[in-house]
Amino acid sequence: MAKMTGAQCLADMLAGYGVTHVFMVPAVLRRTFAEMERRTKIKRIHTHGEKSAAYMADGYARASGKPGVCMAQVIGALNLAAGVRDAHLAHSPVIAFTGGRDAKTKFRKVYQEVDDVPAFEAVTKFNATVDDVARFPDMVRQAFRVAVSGTPGPVHLQFRGNEGQVDAEEADIEPLVETQFARVPPFRPEPEDGSVRAALRILQDAERPVIVAGGGVRASGAGRELVTLAEKLAIPVATSLNGKDSIPGVHPLSVGVCGTYSRESANKVVGLADLVCFVGTETGGMTTHFWAVPKIGTPAIQIDIDPEALGRNYPLKASVLGDAKVVLERMLAHGDGRSAAKRKPWVEQARWICKEWYAKFKPELESDAVPIRPERMCAELTKHVPDDGIVLVDTGHAGMWMGGMYDLRTSNQSYLRSAGHLGWAFSAGLGAKCAWPERPVVVFTGDAGLWYHIGEIETAVRWKINSVTVVNNNASGNQSKRGFDRVYGGQQTEQARELWTYRMVNFAKVAEDIGALGIRVEKAADLGPAIQRALKADRPVIVDVVTDIDALAPVAVT
Ligand SMILES: Cc1ncc(C[n+]2csc(CCOP(=O)(O)OP(=O)(O)O)c2C)c(N)n1
């Protein structure tokens, strides 16, 4: 083994694992950055905040399946931890590096220093310190292994020294790389044959079954197998928000997103089902509308790679432990297509429920109203997002509008959503575009969501990260309107609006000033052409859409 510095070793290992971009606010691992320039082609994306750096790494990771790497020096570590929280909630393989305490000086009131490690505990699968340069190879390998294995998730490594100066030291080390752990999934655990057959028997016996597909289907790359099985056995498919791209929304068996930020048709179909088959979903509160859809007690079966997920929230008739793609392949191989005939009336009923939903919302989806209706924005995006587009959606109202009203048209389109943090989508979209420069990336966010990290427009311009961000600009966080009406006993006071409204700002102008392309849209008829122009611009674009402050998304039905 040759002597090398930690910086040389880390730069070589990141390149070896196929990392193309890292996202950070300096100064951390400075020597590693210098070695990246000398030894690798890795792009070092210097952002306007650690939280947005973490979101970019998260968008990069979810869009590509490869770990996204973000970094902060000691004073930015908790900002970074805050940003890693969404990756944790979404099971996204983000690797966070921070600078941290040195044994020689800790407890002496070192400038900017607190013990940051505990803050990462709640939001990571593996949270560790690298105290000796000799540990670079094994700790970095472990970071990649943990991030992508099983149910993926974030990892934190704190390097000794407030800026991780341990990277300057030398040791006899080898930059070992295990490429198997360079992306999700590193393993495809085979299910027990008996468990597959037992689950399949229950599924085939059911007259009104529904599949609820989650983000685990995307992690496994099992969309095609899911749709083929649903077609073979004639089973409607609902998805979680995180699993929305498991099946195109235009597929005849797709009933939409179920749960809280959902489509009425999905909740109705799940509610009527005599059996629910959960695939790669943690059956959390959002997906089940706090365990009301389906009701606890509804017969259920579940497929997951994590044994602890099986049966956590719904008692099961059968469970299958394994990789989603492999399990669904096995079910397809053993499945009896003849059992589909008895489900014809059920599939027709599900289709009818979907048509009923569409008829109910058609006026808003096609509305020409001024200010523009958000539903019309969703319908225009359904039409204009290219066949291989990646769509990223913020939370709150953005999650409700797009979760319920937007449809993927092809299985090559991707849909990624904030797992709860307002302000995630714009930055995550930049990360996704770094991972897929050749695919169109379209972000949907509210104005409150954009404000969080609006400074990253400059990052996009500086690095030519050409995502398109469509802003539902109602000069407010109007999702909060209902909540404030409620606490004021039915109707809030005029003054209460100060709790959720903002100044109306022209984000197109702001974008232009920073060097991006800004397009302001005030009429619904201009939306489609604006999106098309943005997609062709080959520049970072903000499409600022002036919308109705009184438009409220429909609430979940049970
Ligand atoms: C970090 C964080 N803080 C607070 C919230 C609560 N929250 C959810 S939606 C929302 C307002 C959303 O406003 P905007 O993005 O403008 O969309 P609009 O409701 O106007 O459509 C807020 C404050 C959150 N989800 N995340």
Q: How confident is the model over 510-547, as pLDDT tens digits?
A: 999 999 999 999 999 999 999 999 999 999 999 999 99
Ligand 1 centre distance from Cα of residue 366 (Å): 25
**Chain mean pLDDT for the chain:** 97
Q: How far is the CA of 449 from the centre of ligand 1 (A)?
A: 6
**What are the tens digits of pLDDT across the range 355-374?**
999 999 999 999 999 999 99
Asked if 546 contacts 371 with a C-beta cutoff of 8 angstroms, the reply is: yes
Per-residue pLDDT, 1: 74
Nearest atom in ligand 1 to the alpha carbon of residue 474 is 20
* Ligand 1 binding residues, C-beta < 6 A: 394-398, 420-422, 446-449, 472, 474, 476-480
132, 102 Cβ separation under 8 angstroms: no
Plot region of 18 (φ>0 → left; ψ -120 to 50 → alpha; else → beta): left
Query: Mean pLDDT lowest for which of 225-229, 327-331, 408-412, 487-491?
Result: 487-491
Give the per-residue pLDDT at 2.
82
pLDDT value at residue 219? 96
pLDDT of 264: 98
Distance CA 234, CA 230 (A): 5
Is 454 within 8 Å of 508 (Cβ atoms)? no
For residues 112 and 105, the answer to whether their CB atoms sit within 8 Å is: no
CA of 313 to the centre of ligand 1 (A): 28
CA of 390 to the centre of ligand 1 (A): 22
Query: Could you tell me the distance, in angstroms and rounded to a whole number, from the CA of residue 124 to the centre of ligand 1?
Result: 24
Give the full edge-to-edge strand order of the sheet including 126-130: 43-46, 21-24, 68-72, 94-100, 155-160, 126-130
Q: What is the CA radius of gyration of the chain?
A: 24
The pLDDT value recorded for residue 299 is 98
Taking the C-alpha atoms of residue 36 and residue 161, their distance in angstroms, rounded to an integer, is: 20
| Atom 3 of ligand 1, nearest CA residue | 422
Q: What is the mean pLDDT of residues 183-192?
A: 98
What is the Cα–Cα distance from 181 to 187, expressed in whole angstroms? 9
Distance CA 500, CA 484 (A): 9
Q: Supply the residue whose CA is at minimum distance from atom 8 of ligand 1.
A: 396
The ligand 1 atom nearest the CA atom of 551 = 21
Amino acid at 101: R
C-alpha to C-alpha distance for 148 and 91, rounded to whole angstroms: 9
Ligand 1 atom with the smallest distance to the CA of 445 is 15
The alpha carbon of 398 and the centre of ligand 1 are apart by a number of angstroms equal to: 8
Nearest CA to ligand 1 atom 12: 477
Token pair belonging to 380: 């225009």
- CA pair distance 51, 493, nearest whole angstrom: 35
pTM to 2 decimal places = 0.98
Ligand 1 centroid to Cα of residue 453, in Å, is: 13
95 pairs with which residues across the strands?
69, 155
Q: How far is the CA of 233 from the centre of ligand 1 (A)?
A: 40
pLDDT digits (tens, 9 = 90+) for 49-102: 999 999 999 999 999 999 999 999 999 999 999 999 999 999 999 999 999 999
Pocket test for ligand 1, best of 260, 401, 479 (most atoms within 8 A of CB): 479
Sign of CA dihedral 204, 206, 209, 213: negative
Exposure string over 21-39, b if 16+ CB within 10 A, otherwise e? bbbbbebbbbbbbebbeee
Collapse the DSSP code of 302 into the 3-class scheme (helix H, G, I; strand E, B; otherwise coil) and give the result: strand
Q: What is the pLDDT of residue 18?
A: 98
What DSSP line would sit under 245-283, residue for residue?
A: GGS-TTSTTEEEE-SSS--HHHHHHHHH-SEEEEES---
% helix, strand, coil for the chain, step of 5: 45, 20, 40
Pocket test for ligand 1, best of 397, 427, 447, 546 (most atoms within 8 A of CB): 397
Q: Read off the pLDDT of residues 144-165 as tens digits, 9 standing for 90 and up.
A: 999 999 999 999 999 999 999 9
From 241, 422, 478, 485, give the residue whose CB has the most ligand 1 atoms within 8 Å, as the site to mutate: 422
Assess contact for 39 and 166: CB atoms under 8 A: no
Mean pLDDT confidence for 309-333? 98
Q: Looking at the predicted structure, is the pLDDT value of residue 171 above 90?
A: yes
Residue type, 555: V
CA of 553 to the centre of ligand 1 (A): 13
- Judge whether 269 and 287 are in contact, CB under 8 Å: no
Measure 446 CA to ligand 1 centroid, in angstroms. 8
CA 502 to ligand 1: nearest atom: 16
Residue 395 has pLDDT above 90, yes or no: yes
